[in-house]
Structure 1
Amino acid sequence: MSSTPTTEIIPFIETASMSKKRKNLIKTLLQILPLRNIMLFSKGNIREHEYFTKKFDRELLPIGRHGLTAGWLFESLQQLLNVDQVQNVQCEQLGSDGFVSQIMRVTVQMKDLTEKRYIVKMPETTNIKIALEKTTNQKLPDGADEQFIGGLSVFFNREVDFYSMEKIPGVRTPKCYHKQRWELGKQTGAIVMQDLKGMISVPYYESLNLQQIASIGTQLNNLHIFSIDMDETWKQKFPYPMQLIDTVSNMSDIVKLFVSRNPQLEEGFAKVEKMYTDRNLFIALLRDSHKTLGIDDFLCHGDLWFYNLMWLPRTMGSEMASNHIGSIIDWQNIHTGSIAEDFCHLLTFCCDAETRRQAENCYLPFYYNMLKNNAALAGKKLRVTLNQFLRAYRRNFIAHALHLPFIASIMLCVQPSEDAEEQKSRNESIVEKVIGAWEDALQAMREEYPEYEL
């Protein structure tokens, strides 16, 4: 992580109201970050640093900072491991820790010299405090990061529930070997899963290409086919998270800061500013827009963007992502919602404006026909027309276009480049992406909600 001062990234307005602005910023970040497990990757790839390595002792060797031990792990994996054959255990904390997770790689060395590797994911709040201090350039009091623990437990347990359900055919997720719910004051939450070492992520300031979008589309195709006539248990287990509505309707202060350091955004922001504080509009766009078109709920990943997409490398050992998706991770925000939501999130956050528009014009109609045909082959009827699908996309896209500068500005702060020119280039690419998103969102508003006074 760069040591570049945050003041060089977001120059706060030097006024008497600075303290109030920073407090509002902190409050808003505390609301949103539990909902988005933004991964702090170095250059888009998993960067590891040694946490500890010591001789195996099942009683004493800790796994992370939350009271779990090697003894707990082997008890959890007793059907997979012969503990008598274990020679040593090594643990390392991944540099890809999220704001609301600690992620450990545990390597179990067997007496026959083979190794078995596991990822242990646990909820925690340490990184959130660091991220907030970088973004606000302000020292936070002890305990500031604990304000949202109750909400965080809901989302961590949602992922536990996801891995407890039947596996969705064809959707590539890490194998889950053990999971336990987070019970505040009683039990540490934990998920033990497959190690995806060797897979690659694409950094937030780049753009996916059309081939990569199509690869993700094969995964959404399987998710959507499964959603047709899905069991009511899924709908009851994963309702739409209204916390997201509360978050996105309170992000205008941070977006204003981003605009203040990028004057080329001022004209566009003046046209969309009213929408940022309209909670009812976000409800209409995110939760209800597909319903008013007569479309049933579909399962949504809910956070389909760069760091939750793991790609196979171009060649063995390469740090460049291929066009083939390897796995989709972080299912903490899975919910039922719009059939188009994951595409909206993916194309808005992970593509430059040109690529997004190409995907909207060419790939989305192709995707719809593929989904309709594959649903028929599976013996299911897709009760959505092409027109409904594209309109559902346009409506949901508006909210993601508004959301984009919020997350992008945070990422520029917590993951800046050490090189000033590179940082400038990242910022410029994001500004162009935001301008294009706002322009298209305004057009979509005029088409889908002509009665709304912009």
Structure 2
Amino acid sequence: MYYDRFIGETNIPIGWVVECLKKKSEDFRLAIGNSEISNFKVIDICNNLGFSSRIYKVTINFVDNQRQPYDIVVKTPGVDNYKKLCESEIENTLANDEAINEEGLALYHYQEMLVYTEMLKEIDGLKYPKCYGGKKLIPGKQNGAIIMDDLSNKGACVPFYIPLNINQIQNLFKELMKLHVFSYTKGKQWRRKLQNKMEPNGVNFVKKFIELQWKVVQKFMPKDKFNEIDNIFNRMITHYYDITTHHIFSLPEAQGENAVIVHGDFWTNNLMFKLDSEGNITNEVESIIDWQVVYEGAVCLDMARLLSTCVTPEIRHYVENNIIPNYYQELKDKVCNGGGEFSMTYENFKHIYDFCFIDQSFHSITVTGFMLSHTEIKEEDKNIWDERKSVMSNKIYHAMKDAYEKAKILKPEWLI
């Protein structure tokens, strides 16, 4: 009987998934009708590149073969996939890092489950995958799980080596606006619930991860550019703990009533855009996914992650100079018109962004280095990838240079 079979390499029974769908999905009830389930198929759609989770696509087939198969996604957290990813020569020193454990992952998973099953439903118009149920991760006993819509026929993520365009950025800012307005108005109570923030051992792990990815960057960045910013990198990474925790715990403008609900990992792989009739990626946002590290934090953190990792320096500078000031004013107007309080000045807002950008500039290194390390490049595609690497190295180069210039003004002690 299929009810007793499990999803992939987990102990999550398919029967539980089906019962959740029957209770909470009108689409599934219409799909199954009066039929029964004949069998199901499970594939890992993240190709083993999920850092701390696996994403399974479950296709449910019916006895009545006139009925179309029904697809659903089941996300399961786990450290095993992370450890497999760290088996490469450059990363194996991280495989047994004490910061990566099931107990900590259980907290992040529970938080994400809470966000999907409860919080996101309260945010007017926000684009996210519908959720139909979740299971807690109980270390050593029970795998965690979140059941969500399969959006693969509707949307896709832009490949990490292709910069987002200005229209895509503007549409993503519209989604951030919904999250930020919610944070300052009817979602204030959620901010208090989302306090799973960066711990010291987590910071140390990220620091080591950045240093390892910097070695990857050295292999493809032009030597003159690398040598120019290597000294900047080495000085700033020494102060990484202070840099990455400053906007979380210490920066006065980012605390208290100025804090918002932060997605925390707002970059290409977690941002889906709609597909057109021919399967091409459009500029319209389909869904914001992967809310695992959501927390109460700085209002500009997500936009700093987006702009440091996903766009060309030219587009980033345009957004910083022309769109962010308008974003601030629109946010202020919407919060005040929605009955909320907003006393932050634009100078405060820009101050927060600059500190967040200094921190997030390091992630232009991590996402590029990590993804390239796990990308197989065929000999016949070498010239194409050389061009892509040039674009990515230029993004990293200017992110680090700009972070350095901001630090010279805001925190020169981070450059010693």
Same fold at TM > 0.5: yes
Residue 209 of structure 1 and its aligned partner are, at CA, apart by: 0.9
1:213 to 169, 175, 183: 169
Deviations 1:198-252 (A, max 9, x none): 2111011111111101101111111000111455642332115214533344345
Task: Give the root-mean-square deviation of aligned CA atoms.
Answer: 2.8
Q: Structure 1 residues 252 and 413, CA, compared in 2 at 3 Å: closer, same or farther?
A: closer
The residue that corresponds to 1:94 in the other structure is: 44
1:109 to 48, 57, 61: 61
Deviations 1:112-142 (A, max 9, x none): 514432111112344323322235387999x
Residue 277 of structure 1 and its aligned partner are, at CA, apart by: 2.3
The alignment status of 1:180 with 2:135, answered yes or no, reads yes
8 A contact 1:249–1:282 mirrored in 2 = no
Tell me, in whole angstroms, the C-alpha distance in 1 between the residues paired with 2:75 and 2:236.
37
Gaps of 5+ in 2: none
The alignment status of 1:439 with 2:401, answered yes or no, reads yes
The alignment status of 1:128 with 2:89, answered yes or no, reads no
Tell me, in whole angstroms, the C-alpha distance in 2 between the residues paired with 1:130 and 1:451.
38
The residue that corresponds to 1:12 in the other structure is: none
After TM superposition, list the pairs within 5 Å mapping 1:238-277 onto structure 2: 238-239=194-195, 241-243=197-199, 244-251=202-209, 253-258=211-216, 260-261=218-219, 262=221, 263=223, 264-277=225-238
Q: Structure 1 residues 228 and 85, CA, compared in 2 at 3 Å: closer, same or farther?
A: same
Tell me, in whole angstroms, the C-alpha distance in 1 between the residues paired with 2:308 and 2:278.
30
The alignment status of 1:410 with 2:366, answered yes or no, reads no
2:245 to 269, 280, 283: 283
Deviations 1:132-167 (A, max 9, x none): 2235387999x8999522322222222112123332
8 A contact 1:289–1:396 mirrored in 2 = no
Q: Structure 1 residues 139 and 83, CA, compared in 2 at 3 Å: closer, same or farther?
A: farther
1:429 to 381, 385, 391: 391
8 A contact 1:224–1:299 mirrored in 2 = yes
1:324 to 281, 284, 294: 284
8 A contact 1:201–1:311 mirrored in 2 = yes
After TM superposition, list the pairs within 5 Å mapping 1:384-403 onto structure 2: 384-403=344-363
With 261-270 and 348-357 compared, the bigger mean Cα shift is at 261-270
Please identify which structure carries the higher helix content.
Answer: 2
Residue 62 of structure 1 and its aligned partner are, at CA, apart by: 2.9
The residue that corresponds to 1:362 in the other structure is: 322
Q: Structure 1 residues 135 and 95, CA, compared in 2 at 3 Å: closer, same or farther?
A: farther
After TM superposition, list the pairs within 5 Å mapping 1:41-120 onto structure 2: 57-79=1-23, 80=25, 81=29, 85-97=35-47, 98-110=50-62, 111=64, 113-120=67-74
Count of equivalent residues: 395
Q: Structure 1 residues 373 and 310, CA, compared in 2 at 3 Å: closer, same or farther?
A: same
SS at match of 1:136: coil
Tell me, in whole angstroms, the C-alpha distance in 2 between the residues paired with 1:146 and 1:357.
35
8 A contact 1:135–1:413 mirrored in 2 = no
SS at match of 1:437: helix
With 79-88 and 59-68 compared, the bigger mean Cα shift is at 79-88
8 A contact 2:192–2:296 mirrored in 1 = no
Tell me, in whole angstroms, the C-alpha distance in 2 between the residues paired with 1:380 and 1:144.
43
2:303 to 334, 338, 343: 343
Deviations 1:294-348 (A, max 9, x none): 86210110001111001001x2141x31110000000001001000000000111
Gaps of 5+ in 1: 1-56
1:200 to 139, 151, 156: 156
SS at match of 1:268: helix
Residue 443 of structure 1 and its aligned partner are, at CA, apart by: 1.4
Residue 436 of structure 1 and its aligned partner are, at CA, apart by: 0.4
Q: Structure 1 residues 180 and 450, CA, compared in 2 at 3 Å: closer, same or farther?
A: same
SS at match of 2:290: coil
Tell me, in whole angstroms, the C-alpha distance in 1 between the residues paired with 2:78 and 2:169.
32
Residue 451 of structure 1 and its aligned partner are, at CA, apart by: 5.6
Q: Give identity over the alignment, percent.
A: 27
1:227 to 161, 166, 183: 183
Q: Structure 1 residues 369 and 236, CA, compared in 2 at 3 Å: closer, same or farther?
A: closer
TM-score normalised by length of structure 1: 0.79
Tell me, in whole angstroms, the C-alpha distance in 2 between the residues paired with 1:144 and 1:372.
42
What one-letter code is carried by the residue in structure 1 that aligns with 2:139? Answer: L
Q: Structure 1 residues 155 and 72, CA, compared in 2 at 3 Å: closer, same or farther?
A: same
What one-letter code is carried by the residue in structure 2 that aligns with 1:178? Answer: G
Residue 292 of structure 1 and its aligned partner are, at CA, apart by: 6.2
TM-score normalised by length of structure 2: 0.86
Residue 256 of structure 1 and its aligned partner are, at CA, apart by: 4.5
Tell me, in whole angstroms, the C-alpha distance in 1 between the residues paired with 2:291 and 2:329.
27
The alignment status of 1:189 with 2:144, answered yes or no, reads yes
What one-letter code is carried by the residue in structure 2 that aligns with 1:274? Answer: R
Tell me, in whole angstroms, the C-alpha distance in 2 between the residues paired with 1:375 and 1:172.
20
The residue that corresponds to 1:46 in the other structure is: none
Tell me, in whole angstroms, the C-alpha distance in 2 between the residues paired with 1:341 and 1:449.
18
Deviations 1:235-279 (A, max 9, x none): 332115214533344345315423543433122120231221222
What one-letter code is carried by the residue in structure 2 that aligns with 1:205? Answer: Y
1:169 to 121, 124, 128: 124
SS at match of 2:124: coil
Tell me, in whole angstroms, the C-alpha distance in 1 between the residues paired with 2:210 and 2:335.
41
